[in-house]
Structure 1
Amino acid sequence: MDTAAPLPLRIAVVIPSYKVKAHVLDVIRRIGPEVERIYAVDDACPQQSGRFIQENCSDPRVKVVFNEVNLGVGGAVVAGYRAALADGMDVMVKIDGDGQMAPELLPDFVEPIRNFLADYTKGNRFYSFYNVRSMPRMRLFGNAVLSFMTKISSGYWSIFDPTNGYTAIHRTVLSRIDLDNLARRYFFETDMLVKLGAERAVVLDIPMEAVYADEESGLKISRIVPEFMRKHAFESIKRVIYSYLIRDFSFASVSLVFGLLLMGGGLSFGAVEWIHSVRSGHVASSGTVILAALPIILGFQLLLSFLAYDISNQPRIPLLQLLRHPYSAR
Structure 2
Amino acid sequence: MPHSIHPKLRVLILVLAYNAEKTITSVLNRIPRDMAEKYDLGILVIDDCSRDGTWQIAKKHLEDFWCPGEALRNPVNQGYGGNQKAGYRYASERNYDVVAMVHGDGQYAPECLPELLEPFTRVGEQVDAVFGSRMLNKANALKGGMPYYKFVGNIVLTALQNILLGSRLSEFHTGYRVYRVSTLDSLPLDLNTNDFHFDTEIIMQLLFSGGKIVELPIPTFYGDEVCHVNGLRYAWDVMVSTVKARLIRMGIFYDPKFYFPHTEVASTISKFSFPSTSRIVADAVRPGSVVLDLGCTDGELAEYLRREKNCTVFGTGEEREKYDLDHSLPDAPWDTLDYVLLVDVLEQRDSPEEFLQRLRARLAGNSKVTVIAGTANVGFFITRFMLLLGQFNYSRRGILALTHKRLFTIGSLERLLRYAGFRIQGKHVAAAPYPLALGLNRLSRVLLTVNVGLAKLLPGLFAYQVLLEVLHTPSVEHVLHKAER
TM-score scaled by length of structure 1: 0.73
Counterpart residue type for residue 447 of structure 2: G
**Partner secondary structure for residue 84 of structure 1:** helix
Separation of aligned partners in 2, 1:248 and 1:108: 34
Between the aligned residues of both structures, percent identity stands at 24
**Partner secondary structure for residue 70 of structure 2:** strand
Quote the residue 2:346 is aligned against. Answer: none
Separation of aligned partners in 2, 1:12 and 1:239: 33
Quote the residue 2:447 is aligned against. Answer: 264
Quote the residue 2:483 is aligned against. Answer: none
**2:148 is equivalent to residue 137 of structure 1:** yes
Quote the residue 1:128 is aligned against. Answer: 137
**2:147 is equivalent to residue 147 of structure 1:** no
Counterpart residue type for residue 264 of structure 2: R
Structure 1 residues 22-33: aligned runs within 5 Å: 22-33=22-33
Gaps in structure 1 of 5+ consecutive residues: 273-330
Separation of aligned partners in 2, 1:80 and 1:169: 12
Separation of aligned partners in 2, 1:208 and 1:61: 26
**2:211 is equivalent to residue 201 of structure 1:** yes
| Residue 55 (structure 1) shift | 2.6
Separation of aligned partners in 1, 2:260 and 2:445: 21
Gaps in structure 2 of 5+ consecutive residues: 252-258, 270-434, 456-485
Separation of aligned partners in 2, 1:29 and 1:228: 33
| Residue 247 (structure 1) shift | 2.7
Separation of aligned partners in 1, 2:262 and 2:118: 36
Greater RCO, CA 8 A, separation 6+: 1
Counterpart residue type for residue 248 of structure 1: V
Separation of aligned partners in 1, 2:440 and 2:104: 50
**2:111 is equivalent to residue 104 of structure 1:** yes
Match of 1:83 among 81, 90, 108: 90
Match of 2:247 among 223, 227, 237: 237
Counterpart residue type for residue 93 of structure 1: A
| Residue 12 (structure 1) shift | 0.9
Structure 2 vs 1, CA of residues 245 and 254 (structure 1 numbering), >3 Å: closer, same or farther? farther
Quote the residue 1:212 is aligned against. Answer: 222
| Residue 238 (structure 1) shift | 1.1
Counterpart residue type for residue 114 of structure 1: T
Structure 2 vs 1, CA of residues 153 and 96 (structure 1 numbering), >3 Å: closer, same or farther? farther
| Greater percentage in helix | 1
Indicate if the aligned counterparts of 2:208 and 2:263 stay in contact, CA closer than 8 A. no
Structure 2 vs 1, CA of residues 164 and 251 (structure 1 numbering), >3 Å: closer, same or farther? same
**Partner secondary structure for residue 9 of structure 2:** coil
Quote the residue 1:291 is aligned against. Answer: none
Q: How many residues align?
A: 267
| Greater percentage in strand | 2
**2:106 is equivalent to residue 95 of structure 1:** no
Indicate if the aligned counterparts of 1:42 and 1:48 stay in contact, CA closer than 8 A. no
| Residue 176 (structure 1) shift | 0.5
Quote the residue 1:54 is aligned against. Answer: 59
Indicate if the aligned counterparts of 2:161 and 2:239 stay in contact, CA closer than 8 A. no
Counterpart residue type for residue 97 of structure 1: G
| Residue 166 (structure 1) shift | 0.5
TM-score scaled by length of structure 2: 0.51
Separation of aligned partners in 2, 1:7 and 1:255: 47
Counterpart residue type for residue 151 of structure 1: N
Quote the residue 1:318 is aligned against. Answer: none
Indicate if the aligned counterparts of 2:99 and 2:178 stay in contact, CA closer than 8 A. yes
Structure 2 vs 1, CA of residues 243 and 88 (structure 1 numbering), >3 Å: closer, same or farther? closer
Query: Which stretch of structure 1 is more off in the superposition, 242-251 or 46-55?
Result: 242-251
Counterpart residue type for residue 87 of structure 1: R
Query: Which stretch of structure 1 is more off in the superposition, 260-269 or 174-183?
Result: 260-269
**2:10 is equivalent to residue 10 of structure 1:** yes
Query: Which stretch of structure 1 is more off in the superposition, 186-195 or 125-134?
Result: 125-134
Structure 2 vs 1, CA of residues 176 and 262 (structure 1 numbering), >3 Å: closer, same or farther? same
Quote the residue 2:238 is aligned against. Answer: 228
Separation of aligned partners in 2, 1:245 and 1:101: 35
| Residue 255 (structure 1) shift | 7.8
Indicate if the aligned counterparts of 2:189 and 2:202 stay in contact, CA closer than 8 A. no
Match of 1:72 among 71, 75, 79: 79
Indicate if the aligned counterparts of 1:149 and 1:232 stay in contact, CA closer than 8 A. no
Indicate if the aligned counterparts of 1:244 and 1:250 stay in contact, CA closer than 8 A. no
How big is each residue's C-alpha offset from its partner over 1:123-159, in whole Å with a ceiling of 9 and x where there is no partner? Answer: 110122431333322101111122123324554x221
RMSD of equivalent CA atoms: 2.8
**2:249 is equivalent to residue 249 of structure 1:** no
Separation of aligned partners in 2, 1:28 and 1:263: 58
Structure 2 vs 1, CA of residues 265 and 153 (structure 1 numbering), >3 Å: closer, same or farther? closer
**Partner secondary structure for residue 208 of structure 2:** helix
Separation of aligned partners in 1, 2:216 and 2:22: 27
Indicate if the aligned counterparts of 1:150 and 1:232 stay in contact, CA closer than 8 A. yes
How big is each residue's C-alpha offset from its partner over 1:96-139, in whole Å with a ceiling of 9 and x where there is no partner? Answer: 01111111111111111221252101111012243133332210
Counterpart residue type for residue 156 of structure 2: V
**Partner secondary structure for residue 183 of structure 1:** coil
